[in-house]
Amino acid sequence: FLPYRRKMLRPSTQRYSVTRPLYSEDTFEDEHAKVYRKHKRLLDHFIQYFTCTSERAKNAAVSLLPIIGWMKIYSIKDWLLNDIVSGVSTGLVAVLQGLAFSLLASISTWYGLYAAFFPVIMYFFLGTSRHISVGSFPILSLMVGAVVTRLVPDEGPPANITAFEGLTKDEQRILVSASLTFLVGLFQLGMGLLQVGFIVMYLSDTLISGFTTAAAVHILVSQLKFVLGLTVPGFSGPLSIIYTLESVFTQITSTNIHDLVTSIVVMVTVLGIKEINDRFKSKLPVPIPIEVIMTVIACGISYAFNFSENHGVDVVGKIPNTFESPIAPSLQLFQMTAVEAFPIAIVGFAVAFAVAKVYSVKHDYIIDGNQELIAFGASNIFGGAFKSLVASTALSRSAVQESTGGKTQIAGLLSAIIVLVVILGIGFLLEPLPKSLLGAVVIVNLKGMLMQVVTVPYLWKKDRPDCIVWVGTCLAAIFLGLDLGLAVGLGLELLTVVFRTQTFALASFSVFLNLLQIYEPEGVKIFRIPSPIFFANIDFFRDKLKDAVGFNPLRILRKRNKAVKKIKKMIKKGELTLTSEEGNMEDLDKPTDYSDLPIQVNWNTELPANIRVPPVNIHSLILDFSAVSFLDISALKVTLTFDMSFPAYIIEKLRNCKFFDDEIKTSIFFLTIHDAMLFIHESHPPKTVSEKVNETV
């Protein structure tokens, strides 16, 4: 147990003893009145849910159309230029990735451009994230491609589907892809309307890491035929990766040297420039768009030397300069693809929500998981009707949109306009683009996912059940396919939870103290967690803790940092006169750059120039984790943002996981709540009656 302040504790030689009457249940109730909590009946919840007021109607409109919320605070002066720069940069990347990811889906390349246009338009109005870039995602494209090649294989007749009659093979594949996208959208929209956004809690970080690593391996293998210039049929189902590798290696002597050289040059160049972008990102105004530059160069060289006819290089080919007519999905295809559509819907939402959550925390705004499901559901239904690929978000593309200064989804809308210009105006310039370049770009963008394999030794040393989940999910997804692999991962995750809850450590203590809490002292908040902490409840724990203390620490700290910057500016301009005052400032209150501010700030008093920072009414927080029997790696990542206390066997695990550092030390952990309260009283002596009267006056 520990106080809220992060502070070095000095060794204490003080001792205490507790004397109180012997209580039975009856004698305790006689002395202390029991507080009864009123529980709502089902009818009360029903009436409250269907009661309509003007305030609820307004909130419902803002919730359903989040664009209303951020448009009201949009600053044209401060944000518009950033959104324009970000939109143009993201649009160029979206064009290239749209062409590249369509290869994974085994459909014509220009349909990948549709995924960077139609879903973006719908998400602009319905999405709650201001920074993610909506469009195709390699893992989803690969999962779609597995369904496409199963129903319309490269060799042999297609599946017996009435809607296929009179269609070419390419048209049949587009119908499968569009119908699947439409069905994925229906699943996501349904889950959003049913308010089941919490479902992503059951996909732990470990499971997602293992799954995406396996998907990266599948993507890498699928692009070998483009990198080597080979003709490899598409395989689906268990062991499809083995059959693909067998086909590649049996044809390895037929490698097209021009494709291979192009791929190697592109991969080396792009990796090198991306490394420069990462190393000097603080000095570069915008990242160097190396993929776009290499695309322009490759198109020029391919056109000049006629790679397609003279050297047998497979190129993008004809790109229609118009949108194709919308199509109605096939109900028969719905029946044949429902099993694959549901995991695609879950994975697409989980990836997008995880990325959106990162940027929402960084830029201090709220995202709604259920509304995100509705937004992506509507986007995929709209996109599916216009033959788009399944939409989610690509990590690299979202990073471009955010790092180039994007503030809102206006940047996303502008990126869609760039894609529109390419489709309708200059798409013909991309016709000589070698597919080997697209394959190389896809492989380069897998670096982050493939490098997740380095976490396996760490997991094995620190948390073996999580390591088993990672390895089991990864191997199952590689050899059995992504859909079955995800199911295996969920099964392993469930088994680890059952194992941990049935085999727990027993702690014995030789000190028994009074843990009876009749009230919380002024300025102190006591928070007790009565269950294990793991991936499925860690977000719930974090939200409840914030509710208990009554504020968001990160938001308070950022507002204080902004206030300090404003005070510095006022001092520099001579608009603020300093008076010599003494005061204390908690370590947590220190802004990121406090060194050159010649004053101390008392945040509980009125600040100059109408600067407003929400007050913090507590000085100490005691976290009672005596009932926590275990925590997993997902929980450990979150606990790094809090000061926490655990029984001895869990503290030992924290030591093994390198939880403690120069800031969080074992000395801030206490044996009991009573010990923590004694330390708090020593650090923050209770105010006397006269002090309280003086404060009131």
- Contact by Cβ (8 Å): 469, 457: no
Strand partners, 620: 524
Q: What are phi and psi of 689, to 5 degrees?
A: -65, -40
542: Cα separation from own chain's centroid: 16
Q: How far apart are CA 234 and CA 150, in angstroms?
A: 8
Q: How far apart, in Å, are the Cα atoms of 669 and each of 212, 532, 553?
A: 37, 18, 20
Other Cβ atoms within 10 Å of 467 Cβ, number: 20
- Contact by Cβ (8 Å): 428, 319: yes
Strand partners, 135: 392
Copy the structure tokens of residue 352: 């997008």
Q: In this structure, what DSSP letter does residue 434 have?
A: B
Torsion on CA atoms 144, 146, 152, 154, rounded to nearest 10 = 130
What is the β-pairing status of strands 524-528 and 392-393? unpaired
Copy the structure tokens of residue 556: 């308070």
- Contact by Cβ (8 Å): 622, 676: yes
Cβ-Cβ contacts under 8 Å for 437 (sequence gap 6 or more): 262, 263, 266, 294, 295, 298
Q: How far apart are CA 477 and CA 481, in angstroms?
A: 5
- Contact by Cβ (8 Å): 203, 487: no
Cβ-Cβ contacts under 8 Å for 424 (sequence gap 6 or more): 321, 322
With a cut of 70, which residues of the chain have pLDDT below it? 1-14, 16, 18, 22-25, 28-29, 33-37, 500-520, 535-536, 574-605, 609, 629, 631-667, 686-697
Q: How far apart are CA 506 and CA 411, in angstroms?
A: 55
Copy the structure tokens of residue 668: 């801030």
193: Cα separation from own chain's centroid: 21
User: Among candidates 613, 563, 616, 608, which has minimal Cα distance to 588?
Assistant: 616
Whole-model pTM: value is 0.74
Q: In sequence order, which ranges of 368-463 are alpha helices (DSSP H)?
A: 369-385, 395-403, 410-421, 435-444, 447-450, 455-462
Q: How far apart are CA 436 and CA 26, in angstroms?
A: 80
Element containing residue 524 per DSSP (H, E): strand 524-528
Copy the structure tokens of residue 606: 């009125």
Cβ-Cβ contacts under 8 Å for 653 (sequence gap 6 or more): 462, 631
User: Among candidates 200, 149, 207, which has minimal Cα distance to 476?
Assistant: 207
On the CB side of 404, CA atoms within 13 Å amount to 28
Considering just the CA atoms, what is the radius of gyration of the chain in Å?
Answer: 29
Burial zone of 671 (CB within 10 Å; 0-12 exposed, 13-18 middle, 19+ buried): middle
User: Among candidates 516, 489, 460, 479, which has minimal Cα distance to 673?
Assistant: 516
Q: How far apart are CA 324 and CA 322, in angstroms?
A: 6
Cβ-Cβ contacts under 8 Å for 349 (sequence gap 6 or more): 188, 191, 200, 372, 373, 376, 392
Q: How far apart are CA 210 and CA 489, in angstroms?
A: 9
- Contact by Cβ (8 Å): 102, 110: yes
Q: How far apart, in Å, are the Cα atoms of 584 and each of 285, 327, 478, 616, 626?
A: 39, 68, 57, 15, 32
Copy the structure tokens of residue 91: 């649009």
Domain ranges of the chain: 78-156+173-452
Q: In sequence order, which ranges of 623-685 are alpha helices (DSSP H)?
A: 633-639, 648-656, 673-683
User: Positive or negative CA dihedral for 443, 447, 449, 451?
Assistant: positive
383: Cα separation from own chain's centroid: 23
Copy the structure tokens of residue 284: 């570069």
